[in-house]
Amino acid sequence: MADDNNVYEMNEKKNGSWSGWIRTAIILALLIFALLIVLLNVFIVKQGEFKVVTQFGEVMRIEDEPGLNFKIPFIQQTSTLPKHQMNYDISSAEINTMDKKRVLVDNYAIWRVTNPQKMISNARTVENAESIMANYINSVTRSELGRMDFDEIINEGDSARGDVNEMVRDNVNTLLEDGDYGVSLTDVRIKRTDLPEDNEKSVYRRMISERESTAQEYLSEGDAEANRIRANTDREVTETISAAQADADEIIGEGEAEAASIYNDAFSSDVEFYELYRTLQSYEQTINDETVIVLPSDSPYARILMGYVE
């Protein structure tokens, strides 16, 4: 009987030990579960972001101060929205200009979240908000550039593209405000304008033709100017030569007149000397190494040649 009591007491002690371990394990599991619940429902708000707490799709509150915050387990969810400005590169859109040309326009937008509650309620996500903005921007850009000619759009220095950017921004902001999307555009810009691929070759050919035509005009103007310069130069040369010839003829005439006057004065002052001088000059013209002169010995001419001068 004593042995049976000992066995019973040992079994009771053993069962009590197991029950203690089970209770401890359950308590630890509950504590761990509670800790996990707490950790999973604590969220951190960082600098430069909004934390939007929603419950069954409805915005309950907006946390925008940095720090720790809590939400109701299994019921509430959080989403993050940036406070800073964001850059969105919009896909190219094809438009028709006022002069019926097709052109691809590539835009980019700078935007920010202004009302997180409206943004989550109506746009839901950042991606949806960007998609809505892109549709509005393409629509307004198509409308505004459709009032401009192709040359105005591509020649930035002579165009009103700067004003168009401002008009697109203001009009899109009006549409976003009417839709209560909680976002706004800070700036929108046209990065570049390209021609559709099927139009590029024809435009390039037209540009080449225009440049060749312009070059030909320059060449024709150059040839005409060269001919004009040559004609003026030839006329000036002819006039200069004629004037010089006239001056030369006048100088020669004056010299001959003066020479004749000198001859006359010399002849009148000493007739015999002048005759002798003229005779000697005639010798220079008529006598050379091959000259054969046959004269009578008593000829005055022969006597002078032989040195018989009276």
Rounded to the nearest integer, the mean pLDDT of the chain is 79
- Rounded CA separation 50/117 (Å): 10
Q: Which CATH code fits 85-194?
A: 3.30.479.30
R_g over Cα of the chain: 59
Q: Express each pLDDT in 277-308 by its tens digit.
A: 777 777 777 777 777 767 777 776 677 766 66
Query: Domain residue spans in the chain?
Result: 1-40, 85-194, 266-305
pLDDT digit string, tens, across residues 178-221: 999 999 999 998 877 776 666 556 666 777 888 888 888 888 88
Residue 277 or 253, more confident = 253
Whether 184 and 114 have beta carbons less than 8 Å apart is answered as yes
- Supply 41's token pair: 């429902």
Backbone angles phi, psi at 73, to 5 degrees: -60, 140
